[in-house]
Amino acid sequence: MTAPPADPYRTFITDVRPRTPNGRAPKAAVGDPVEVRAHLVRDGHGILAAQLRWRRLDGTRSKWAAVPMVVDDHGHARGRFEPEAPGMYEFEVDAWEDRFATWRRDLRLRVAAGEDVATELLDGADLLERILPEVRKGRRSRVRDAIEQLRATSCGEGVRVAAGLDDAVAEVVVGLPDPEDRTTSGPHPLRVDRELAVRGAWYELFPRSEGGFVEGARIWDRLERIAEAGFDVLYLPPIHPIGVTNRKGPGNTLVAGPDDVGSPWAIGGPDGGHTDVDPSLGTLEDVRRFIRRANELGVEVALDHALQCSPDHPWVRDHPEWFQVRSDGSIRYAENPPKKYQDIHPINFWPPKDSDRVALWKACRGILEFWIEQGIRVFRVDNPHTKPLAYWEWVIRDIQRRHPDVVFLAEAFTDPAMMHALAEIGFSQSYTYFTWRTSKWELVEYGEELAHGEAAGWFRPNLWPNTPDILSGPLRNGSPGQFAIRAVLAATMAPSWGIYSGYELCENQPASPDNEEYLHSEKYELKVRDWSPTEQPGSLWALIARLNEIRRAHPAMWRMWSLRFHHVEDDRLIAYSHRRDDDVVMVVVNLAPDELVESTLHVDPGSLGLPPEGPYLARDELTGEEWTWEGPTAYVKLGPDERVAHVLSLVRHHGP
């Protein structure tokens, strides 16, 4: 037989949220209110109370802050706090029986029933006396006065009852934990990120196609234009030395000529590995100078973090134990049958010796640390789903503990469970299936999942219509209208979006009818584009810049949870809104941009904070046109000769 527990809980606290399925840290952003909920269960009929406590885990563990929680009659508790800096936090819920509130409730009932309450009045005085040490010193006098009146037998019962039921006294002691009866649930982890982890516009280009980082190269002018177009992040594929052994030729051919540049993802050669710069791009100081200039322009440089090695990487020579050695002594190259990557060796994150694993993991962390020292704070991680989740959980937590502003984007086009797991264990945001969601029902279903699904509290989407690997759906041999609508959808459905260089020029030639890659893929050859058409009719650059401008101007579009879909009678049109207080944005997109479509949009103005019957103004942020709408329906017309989409701000009509 065992003895009863020495310190048993009095209140059962369950269903504490926010949480992830496996107890890892859900995510929040600096300045966003964190809504905490819990369910309190306890024997008896007492009134339950709770408080929310939180603190930042900054190495020294800051002091707890606390606020009372609202608890309803069914034990559901709600509270909120706003984190002020990025980093790891913890929060907990304290619960107890509010004996004084319970006493006041019962006193009212006893008085109403005509009972003798002399003893209950003395009990109330004793309760307040036990609470008194928890009251702030400047407010204790009112509580002392109430205690004296409750015990003053010389006063009439009505005066003593009034002292016990004084709302001013209850206000002083509300939310104060009972030191003799407090149950704590937690602590529960919370990851708080800076804004760029939630919201940003990304642009990807290959530095080698733009002349590298030396001063005077085309990339410096491109950087200026990218900043002017409102992009927050310039993402660069690997900039490291490229292997020679098994180097790929144009179109992923197995034989490279003497002048072929190879794939930048075949990292490592005679000039170094992951912490070196390919000499054809310039020096490390050139890269540092480029990063500094980008930051001056309000753009952050994101670097590709690809944990794989060419056969010429120094690690292959110095640490063969970090790779998979075959029975014939050769090192296995990467493959995803039937695809083969003869120019790459995958890293074996679980070598036979644990000491080798520890050394490898530290070396991989060292790559991140090196580039953080150079000024990089954003990493796009290549194929994270092919590396152990345990590694990513450890390294991301360790890096962000010392550098809480670092952002990790997961390039994981894989099974949903793996994508969600990567987000749960620490990745700031992720690529998504948006690239392949093209029909109306697919977009609505996926948008609802991203905005309101089970993983919405920790899976942050980044929508890309294209990547260097993927030219899919309507973009394959697609018209400029198709490129325009995919840009509008990506830029307005989610807080983060991105495009790969050449999208604005509507590059649309696939490698073959069955291959999603580009013809003349930039992954294997230089692609020197004529950027002058970006300022001419037919280019999408002005549209893309305007979309980024709209995104920055409207806080309604800054969070995924604001997305709501609306009914349009013609299924060739899709409509959705974002709302934050009085800022309301309605987007209507023609999914058949080469056709003229007219239809009726059902708005539901009441849910958007607009007058249900009265007039309100619809202003097209793309063109500046304005219309006055009334009631729950509106007429829309989209087509190739006019426009492919509306991005409308809806406001109460203040005109005559």
Q: Are residues 98 and 67 in the same domain?
A: yes
> In this structure, are 65 and 180 located in the same domain?
yes
Distance set, CA 323 to CA 316, 334, 335, 390, 608 (Å) = 8, 11, 14, 18, 56
Structure confidence by residue, pLDDT tens digits, 347-383? 999 999 999 999 999 999 999 999 999 999 999 999 9
CATH number, residue 236: 3.20.20.80
* CATH number (domain holding residue 595): 2.60.40.1180
Contact 272, 310 (CB under 8 A): no
In a domain, 94, yes or no: yes
Two tokens, residue 313: 């990487």
Judged by DSSP in three states, 351 sits in coil
Residue 411 falls in the annotated catalytic set: yes
Active site residue: 210, 304, 411, 522, which one?
Answer: 411
Domain that holds residue 492: 195-306+371-557
Task: Count the domains in the chain.
Answer: 3
Q: Which residues of the chain have pLDDT under 50?
A: none
Do 64 and 20 lie in a common domain?
yes
Q: Answer yes or no: are the C-beta atoms of 193 and 29 closer than 8 Å.
A: yes
- pLDDT tens digits, one per residue of 275-315: 999 999 999 999 999 999 999 999 999 999 999 999 999 99
- Does residue 365 lie in a domain region? no
Question: Does the residue 364 lie in any domain?
Answer: no
- Are residues 131 and 236 located together in one domain of the fold? no
Contact 539, 504 (CB under 8 A): yes
Total-model pTM: 0.93
Tell me whether residue 73 is one of the annotated catalytic residues. Answer: no
232, 304, 382, 517: the catalytic one is 382
The residue out of 557, 588, 606 marking a domain boundary is 557
| Residue where a domain stops, chosen among 192, 216, 246 | 192
Indicate if 180 and 200 belong to the same structural domain.
no
587: which DSSP letter?
Answer: E
| Residue 47 included in any domain | yes
Q: Check whether residue 389 and residue 510 sit in a common domain.
A: yes
Same domain, 594 and 449: no
Same domain, 22 and 99: yes
Whether 297 and 444 share a structural domain? yes
**Residue 336: inside a domain:** no
DSSP 116-143: --HHHHHHHHHHHHHHGGGS-GGGHHHH
User: What is the number of helices (H) and of strands (E) in the chain?
Assistant: 14, 31
| Residue located via tokens 């029902």 | 441
Let me know if residue 515 belongs to a domain: yes
Residue 321 lies in a domain: no
Q: Is residue 514 located within the same domain as residue 618?
A: no
Write the CATH number for 139. 2.60.40.10
17 with 165, same domain: the answer is yes
576 and 547 inside one domain: no
Domain boundary residue among 511, 536, 557?
557
Q: How far apart are CA 507 and CA 50, in angstroms?
A: 58
The Cα 182–Cα 7 span in angstroms is 11
Query: Can you give the pLDDT at residue 503?
Result: 96
Distances in Å between the Cα of 603 and the Cα atoms of 111, 624, 631 are: 54, 20, 8
CA-closest candidate to residue 489, choices 473, 453, 467, 465: 465
Residue 33: count other Cβ atoms within 10 Å of its Cβ: 10
Cα→Cα distances 81→29, 33, 190, 230, 446, Å: 12, 5, 12, 31, 30
User: In this structure, is residue 343 part of a structural domain?
Assistant: no
Provide the β-strand partners of residue 455.
none
